[in-house]
Amino acid sequence: MQSIFSNEHNESPVAILRQTMSVSLNDDGIPVVSFAVNRGKGSGSQVVPVAEFAEYISVLESVVESGLPEDNDEHLTAAEMVRRTIRQDEGVISFRVRGGKGAKPAKVVASDFAEVIELLRSTVDAVEQASDALTG
């Protein structure tokens, strides 16, 4: 027997975020937080320098409060990249942490967006503590 829906994932963005969030050092020795909010083709982990994480979340919170901004990309901080790339299409909010080849957007159903951002906000202290532990 072959399942027709074998490739579908019905996990919530919050569940995926909880499973995937980690703090590590990138190749340059910079502490980064990595997480995903969706799975499948065209999706990928968001990797944000810990030093930019709180501001990144602040930008996302402003979208929850004020709606999507109008505008669009280059050598920007994670927060600036979110501000420039965040969009809503067919009930899905997508945004990028970085530009360039291979950069994948996070995609969150609009009805789950505030809860995902709330969970991210609740992790700032733990992410910064994990970063401190990595860097001494």
pLDDT tens digits, one per residue of 22-81? 999 999 999 999 999 988 877 888 999 999 999 999 999 998 988 876 654 456 888 988
Q: Could you tell me the pTM of the whole model?
A: 0.63
What pLDDT is recorded for position 84? 86
Cβ atoms within 10 Å of 57's Cβ, excluding its own: 23
Enumerate helices (H) and strands (E) in the chain, giving the number of each.
5, 6
- The answer to whether 95 touches 68, Cβ cutoff 8 Å, is no
Q: Which two tokens stand for residue 45?
A: 């982990």
What pLDDT is recorded for position 43? 80
Q: Exposed, middle or buried, 119 (CB in 10 Å: 0-12/13-18/19+)?
A: middle
What pLDDT is recorded for position 9? 56
